[in-house]
Structure 1
Amino acid sequence: MAHRNEFDKDYDRIIYSSSLRRLQDKAQVFPLQENDFTRTRLTHSMEVASLGRSMAWNIGTWLVEEKKFKHFWEAKELASLVEVSCLVHDLGNPPFGHYGEDIIRNWFDKWFESDVFQKIENSYESKGFSPLNHQQKNDFRYFEGNAQAIRILTKLQFLNDQYGANFTYGTLATLMKYPWASDHPKAIDKKKFGYFYSEKDLYEDLHKEVGIGERRHPATYILEAADDIAYLTADVEDGVKKGIVDWENAYEEISGFLETNYSYAYNTLKKYREQAIKNKVPNKDLVNVQNFKVVAQGIMINAVIEVFKNRYEDIMTGSFEGTLLEFSTAKDLEKLLQQISRKYCYSDHEVITLELVGDRVITDLLDLFVDAVVNIDKKPKTKLKKDKLFHLISENFRHIQSLDSNGLPNIKFEDLSLYNRLLLITDFISGMTDSYAVSLHQKLLGVKLP
């Protein structure tokens, strides 16, 4: 249909998916929330998509005016590309937020150094399998939600064939924030990478067809800025709602900075604050922080767009390093908001306690499923404990591992390499919602009946 471009089709394809729906029960900052106000990964992703689309429209219109785009339709394509990339940017995040990534990384880091792993790897070599290479090990040591999102979109969100959700190369390239492998020096330095060994052929295609590799896709910078702007303001707002951020004290830290650097913003907020008192607004602090969020986002959005336009040639040639926000006039506001979140939100007793719960849950699940799945020699039935655990893994994920290069289910599980078995486990565990992970953990430990 003429009114939809290919990136719109990506959006329409994923909006109905189970992978996206699972984000409604994955933590942004506060896990396992019972209230309906605090953000989840899904609501965060929707906000990022809104911010990203808005910035992309501004930049796209400018590119038309500068005659860098020939047609206005190209501006629409840019906005659609950024919007769908923003919507799926957290698709691969495991339960319990970024801390969940750390738990998986730490578990595998210890396991690869253990005598248990050495015996397992020796047993696989005796069967004719190659030992895990450096990149394969690093895929788990530096487990990255961004790389998992690529894997979900290209394989795990199974529709009809081995290509997953059949996303465009442009969207996948934009989503790949760190376009290098897990054994690249940048991955070892930053502990971030863009794709697993299992998707190396896809990366080569993206490198060839889109041009990422030594440089990011230009739209990735817009996605990254939208993500930063969304979380910087939303975390503070959620903290106020939960009563762990004393907004009046926090605003004292902010107001002087605004008065000095953004007098118009300071005066606008002063007017809103006076209005809230005059109108006897209930939940005055929440109203005030929401007004601040809008003003602060406006400051950062304008600053980021300005950097993109000023550094356009550097971005297009791949010589731009860093983020748009850190090179903008709003970089000090970014640092101030980060300080407030660290002071109040990330160190909150509830957050720390629930993250420790997540640590126990994910660690125990990895203990159970890795021990079971890597030690299955024959076609799994349901007699032994390890076979029973295997059958708890999503049938969809098991089916993906059976597909050969032609997309046909010809690979028997007993012929599956150690690397692919470990991927099966991380696919399963990282795909869990916070609540499902806790519930399954309780059932397997006998704390809760099925």
Structure 2
Amino acid sequence: MNFQEKWRKLLLPLRYGGSGVDFKKLDPARSPFLQDRDRIIYSSSFRRLARKTQVHPLVRNDHIHTRLSHSLEVSSVGRSLGAMAGYFLRRRDELPEYAAPEFPGQILEAACLAHDIGNPPFGHAGEFAIRDWFGDPANHTYVNALEETYQSDFRCFDGNAQGFRVVNVVENNRDQGGFRLTYPTLASMVKYPWDSWQSRTRSGKCKFNYYQAEAGIFEEVFCALGLKTRRGDFARHPLSLLAEAADDTCYRIVDMEDARELDIITLADILKVVEPLAPSLRL
């Protein structure tokens, strides 16, 4: 299989819960991936990110990043990275005939908007609180009746897996659930293409991207995009690596603004960190 054939699958604008793709009706001005972006932006789950701080919990300073402002910044970086990738693929003649070079950027914009949509309040401390509650023997009644793999979902609660559940099940639950996002957008959100049980047995860490309840959805999406390996596990979508890069860029650089705003670090500290990227910056 050549690269164009691989990208033909990886960018295939199938929509979860949809009925296939009519390539003759693909409108670059209103592509399926732009529709993904809009479905996320206008959702209540996305708006709720405004009430969750990004790094520093329990602050009274309203200039601090929230999960919503962080997600908007990540989507901006992701769109730029995706656009560069799209035009790079076009120059190499690796884009499929139906795909515009803007498609990777649009996919990443949508995926990055939703990348934190399942995170609880108080950042990663919220994840630890939920895990501790379900790990407390006094609360075992709630999970002991479940199969062991399902118990692991509760005791290893992760915002990434909760995000996959939100976009596929929780939102629009009166209409059988989910935003009905395209497969490339869903796959580009996935940083850890395995479940909680696999995560615990392989690495002992609570980092995974789908619960047992959504395992069927996950497998359908990743198989359709050609991401199931010969070993039977799943590979990451190439664009998910750019989504992670966009997140890391904002987390490691832009979010230093918050530490400066809270007088945790100084401007000199920031300049020292970014000097390798921009040597001309001086106090």
Does the pair score TM above 0.5?
Answer: yes
> Hey, what does 2:195 align to over in structure 1?
181
Distance apart, 1:193 and its partner CA? 0.8
- CA–CA separation in structure 1 for the residues paired with 2:98 and 2:195: 36
Q: Which has the higher helix share?
A: 1
> Hey, what does 1:83 align to over in structure 2?
109
> Hey, what does 1:161 align to over in structure 2?
175
Distance apart, 1:229 and its partner CA? 0.4
Contact 1:25/1:32 (<8 A) preserved: no
The question of 1:57 aligning with 2:70 is answered no
SS in 1 for 2:34: helix
Contact 2:192/2:207 (<8 A) preserved: yes
Aligned residues: 251
Matches within 5 A, 1:292-331: none
- CA–CA separation in structure 1 for the residues paired with 2:209 and 2:128: 16
The question of 1:246 aligning with 2:269 is answered no
* Structure with the greater alpha carbon radius of gyration: 1
The question of 1:137 aligning with 2:133 is answered no
- CA–CA separation in structure 1 for the residues paired with 2:36 and 2:77: 18
> Hey, what does 2:215 align to over in structure 1?
200
Distance apart, 1:158 and its partner CA? 1.2
Q: 1:40 aligns with which of 66, 71, 78?
A: 66
Distance apart, 1:218 and its partner CA? 0.8
- CA–CA separation in structure 2 for the residues paired with 1:121 and 1:106: 13
CA RMSD of aligned residues (A): 2.3
Structure scoring higher RCO (CA < 8 A, sep ≥ 6) equals 2
The question of 1:216 aligning with 2:242 is answered no
- CA–CA separation in structure 2 for the residues paired with 1:199 and 1:79: 26
What's the CA shift string for 1:242-285, capped at 9, x where partnerless? 2221223x257548xx4xx56xx212x13xx4xxxxxxxxxxxx
4+ aligned runs moved over 6 Å, structure 1 = none
- CA–CA separation in structure 2 for the residues paired with 1:101 and 1:243: 27
AA aligned opposite 1:195: Y
Change in 2 beyond 3 A, CA 1:186/1:6: farther
> Hey, what does 1:151 align to over in structure 2?
165
What's the CA shift string for 1:364-389, capped at 9, x where partnerless? xxxxxxxxxxxxxxxxxxxxxxxxxx
Contact 2:53/2:64 (<8 A) preserved: no
AA aligned opposite 2:165: R
Change in 2 beyond 3 A, CA 1:5/1:134: same
SS in 2 for 1:102: helix
Gaps of 5+ in 1: 123-130, 274-450
SS in 1 for 2:63: coil
Contact 2:199/2:207 (<8 A) preserved: no
Q: 1:233 aligns with which of 250, 253, 259?
A: 253
Q: 1:6 aligns with which of 32, 43, 46?
A: 32
Gaps of 5+ in 2: 1-25, 228-232
- CA–CA separation in structure 2 for the residues paired with 1:187 and 1:37: 41
> Hey, what does 2:51 align to over in structure 1?
25
Distance apart, 1:72 and its partner CA? 9.0
Distance apart, 1:35 and its partner CA? 3.2
- CA–CA separation in structure 2 for the residues paired with 1:187 and 1:47: 35
Distance apart, 1:32 and its partner CA? 3.8
Change in 2 beyond 3 A, CA 1:82/1:186: farther
- CA–CA separation in structure 2 for the residues paired with 1:218 and 1:186: 25
AA aligned opposite 2:44: S
Change in 2 beyond 3 A, CA 1:82/1:254: closer
Change in 2 beyond 3 A, CA 1:252/1:91: closer
What's the CA shift string for 1:148-169, capped at 9, x where partnerless? 1111111111165213211112
Distance apart, 1:100 and its partner CA? 0.4
TM-score (norm 1): 0.52
Contact 1:180/1:187 (<8 A) preserved: no
What's the CA shift string for 1:358-412, capped at 9, x where partnerless? xxxxxxxxxxxxxxxxxxxxxxxxxxxxxxxxxxxxxxxxxxxxxxxxxxxxxxx
Change in 2 beyond 3 A, CA 1:252/1:144: closer
